[in-house]
Amino acid sequence: MKKKHFPKRYFMVVGTFLLALLLYVDRICISVAKDPIANTLALTDKQMGWVLAAFSLGYAFFQTPSGIFADKHGPRKVLTTIVTLWSAFTALTGLAWNFVSLLVVRFLFGAGEAGAFPGMSRAIYNWIPLKERGIVTGINFSGSRLGAAFALPLVAWLIDSYSWQVTFYILGFVGIAWALVWWFFFRDDPEEHHSISKEEKQFILSTRQERTATLEASKIDFNKLLKSKNMWLAMGQYFCSNFTFFFALTWLFPHIRSKYQLDTIEAGFYTAIPLVFGAFGNWFSGWLIDNIFKQGKWNRSRILPAIIGFALAAIGLLGSTYMDSAIGAIIFLSIAIFGADMTLPPSWAFCVDIGKEHSGGISGTMNMAGNIGSFITALLFPYLLAWTGSNILFFVVGAVLNVFAIFMWLKMKPSKNYLDY
């Protein structure tokens, strides 16, 4: 009887899941450390808003270039390089001595992280059959949510036990360790992996989308990209999605802690709950995508999960404004983040669908637009609060954007290449 081996493509999924987990541990650390950093460096809430926004700006600007590099040089080299870079800037955050130095380091940290998900998209295109992309994308993004949820109480404990500076040093070291493992064990294509079975290699090559290996297709066509309706709709809906979710990564912790008078570790546990629900949203959406796709409904498999997600996000944001207790607010914010995260697997699967061998550049362009939404979120929350004395308007704006995104998805066509629609 022939012995069955664990498919090599699933080892890759484990690696990208751990990368997504690390990505968000490093990213959310600044939110938990907001008060001790502000106290040490004498920063106001508005200044901290700019620090949080600086990450998003660096992250947005380098999305498309990083995605193109992943398409050209392969996810093995690109992911190893960028994880090493962002881990160095994570550690350097602990050395910041004033507002400007912190602003610069967080911008460069964002630039370093920019290629992570575009690089993963290219790895998925190379290694994952079309019918498995929904659940694999959901698994990867659930790693980011579980990483953020895990980080909230852990980082709160590390900061209380040691200091915010030491916490950033530790996280930087962990990132460099991941980069070394990825470099030694991952290969860009199944054809290059010496230990993969012939059966699995043939299965992957026959079930992923056909490559268009012509000279004309070797470079992304930016003129046609700028005219692509699919691309603009993908960017617009992802802007709306990130506006909702980035709140959970930046202002949710200080908002819940301040509004309901919680201590640091208690607030960490409360605000981890919506992020865990975000992981569930990714898993459910990924499962739903693949289930619908197997019924032969390619377009619907991407569009329906996204529409459900945006509707839940709008309901959750509005519902949270009526809550007088931390538990009530967390319940509705969990619904919102569950919904917002349901939109991620269809969004990234959509980019792989329409981008094919340019999936890194296409997904990076979408993510660039999304992180402009994150940039605005980081600034809008403290400024609207200062202007109106309430956070209700912020949540209303988020809900309206989610409703707009539903109408965008109704116009999107996953089965059409970005060059054709």
Query: What gap in Å lies between CA 363 and CA 418, rounded to an integer?
Result: 11
Query: 90-104, 136-150, 283-297 — which is least confidently predicted?
Result: 136-150
- Give the pLDDT band (50/70/90) at residue 353: confident
Q: What confidence tens digit (pLDDT) does each residue in 120-173 have?
A: 878 887 888 877 777 787 787 777 778 778 777 888 888 888 888 999 999 999
Mean pLDDT, rounded, for 272-301:
86
Tokens of 128: 């994952």
Where do runs of H (alpha helix) occur along 114-163? 116-127, 133-161
Mean pLDDT, rounded, for 255-263:
84
Q: Are 269 and 32 in contact (CB under 8 A)?
A: no
Q: What confidence tens digit (pLDDT) does each residue in 215-239 have?
A: 344 566 667 777 788 889 999 999 9
Q: Which residue bears the tokens 């992309």?
A: 133
Q: Are 85 and 58 in contact (CB under 8 A)?
A: no
Tokens of 243: 């506006």
Percentage of residues in the chain having pLDDT higher than 70: 93
Report the run of H or E that residue 113 belongs to, with start and end.
Answer: helix 99-113
pLDDT at position 277, please?
92
Residue 119, pLDDT > 60, answer: yes
Most confidently predicted of 114-128, 332-346, 351-365: 332-346
pLDDT at position 421, please?
61
pLDDT at position 305, please?
92
Tokens of 195: 């230990």
Query: 38-42, 220-224, 410-414 — which is least confidently predicted?
Result: 220-224
Domains of the chain: 13-208+224-409 (1.20.1250.20)
Is pLDDT larger for residue 357 or for residue 309?
309
What are residue 129's phi and psi, to 5 degrees?
-60, 150
pTM confidence score: 0.72
Query: What gap in Å lies between CA 345 and CA 141, rounded to an integer?
Result: 8
**In sequence order, which residues have a C-beta less than 8 Å from that of residue 271 and are 6 or more positions away?**
152, 248, 252, 253, 256, 257, 330
What are residue 322's phi and psi, to 5 degrees?
-95, 0
- Give the pLDDT band (50/70/90) at residue 349: confident
How wide is the angle at C-alpha 44 spanned by C-alphas 273 and 262, nearest 5°? 35
pLDDT at position 213, please?
44
Query: What gap in Å lies between CA 178 and CA 173, rounded to an integer?
Result: 9
Residue 361, pLDDT > 80, answer: no
Residue 318, pLDDT > 90, answer: yes
Q: Give the mean pLDDT of the chain.
A: 83
Specify the DSSP class assigned to residue 2: P
Residue 196, pLDDT > 90, answer: no
